[in-house]
């Protein structure tokens, strides 16, 4: 973990307003880059943790393998680098508790430093390498969305027509009263 202070020294601000993150992963490492655009009014203690998983396709329970705590307060960049060793592990940057053993049915660890952003954590080695998701150029997505919209309009119009025809077929005719 490397911290590089830079930027303004005042005024201070709250973490959600000035914190940004990016992550990258390759076959050897997982990196989380934490950028504070301004200093924090209150320091945050975070922990980079590695939880070992049982393997053989099982993710739980996990055992705390390594923990490195650090403090965020000065504006700048903190880069957390996890090294992939080939055994099934989970990499997290957390605030709060780091129990020795975690599982959905046991104790949980504290929240991610960036709650709900699962790109800031990674499981490695449990199911093989992460899948490669090809990027689709935007010009290809726009015609696809037009096709989906047209199909929706066609379905809506045809369902209205079927409904009208059914009502017409069930309606009494003039000859049925006579």
Whether 101 maps to a domain, the answer reads: yes
The confidence score (pLDDT) of residue 142 equals 47
Shared domain for 83 and 144, answered yes or no, is: no
Please give the angle made by the CA atoms of 4, 94 and 70, to the nearest 5 degrees.
35
Whether 51 maps to a domain, the answer reads: yes
Shared domain for 104 and 144, answered yes or no, is: no
The confidence score (pLDDT) of residue 36 equals 95
Question: What is the span of the domain harbouring residue 11?
Answer: 2-124
Shared domain for 161 and 108, answered yes or no, is: no
Q: What are the per-10-residue average pLDDT scores of the chain (178 residues)? A: 78 95 95 96 97 89 97 96 93 96 94 93 73 50 53 56 51 47
Q: Using only C-alpha atoms, what is the Rg of the chain?
A: 27
Shared domain for 12 and 88, answered yes or no, is: yes
What is the pTM (predicted TM-score) of this model? 0.68
Q: What is the CATH number of the domain that holds 114?
A: 2.60.40
The confidence score (pLDDT) of residue 176 equals 41
- Phi and psi at 153, nearest 5°, equal -65, -45
Shared domain for 57 and 145, answered yes or no, is: no
Q: How many domains does the chain have?
A: 2
Shared domain for 109 and 158, answered yes or no, is: no
> In this structure, are residues 21 and 78 in contact, taking their beta carbons and an 8 Å threshold?
no
Shared domain for 12 and 87, answered yes or no, is: yes
Shared domain for 64 and 142, answered yes or no, is: no
């Amino acid at each position: 973990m490397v911290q590089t202070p830079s930027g303004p020294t005042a005024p201070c601000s709250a973490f959600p307003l000035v914190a940004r993150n990016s992550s990258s992963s390759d076959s050897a490492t997982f990196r989380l880059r934490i950028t504070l655009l301004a200093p924090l009014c209150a320091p945050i203690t975070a922990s980079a943790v590695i939880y070992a998983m049982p393997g053989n396709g099982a993710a739980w329970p996990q055992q705390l393998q390594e923990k490195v705590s650090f403090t965020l307060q000065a504006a700048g960049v903190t880069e957390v680098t996890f090294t992939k060793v080939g055994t099934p592990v989970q990499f997290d940057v957390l605030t709060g508790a780091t129990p020795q053993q975690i599982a959905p049915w046991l104790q949980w660890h504290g929240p991610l430093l960036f709650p709900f952003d699962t790109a800031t954590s990674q499981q490695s080695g449990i199911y093989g390498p992460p899948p490669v998701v090809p990027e689709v150029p935007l010009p290809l997505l726009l015609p696809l969305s037009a096709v989906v919209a047209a199909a929706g309009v066609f379905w809506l119009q045809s369902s209205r027509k079927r409904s009208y025809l059914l009502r017409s077929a069930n309606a009494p005719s003039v000859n049925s009263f006579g």
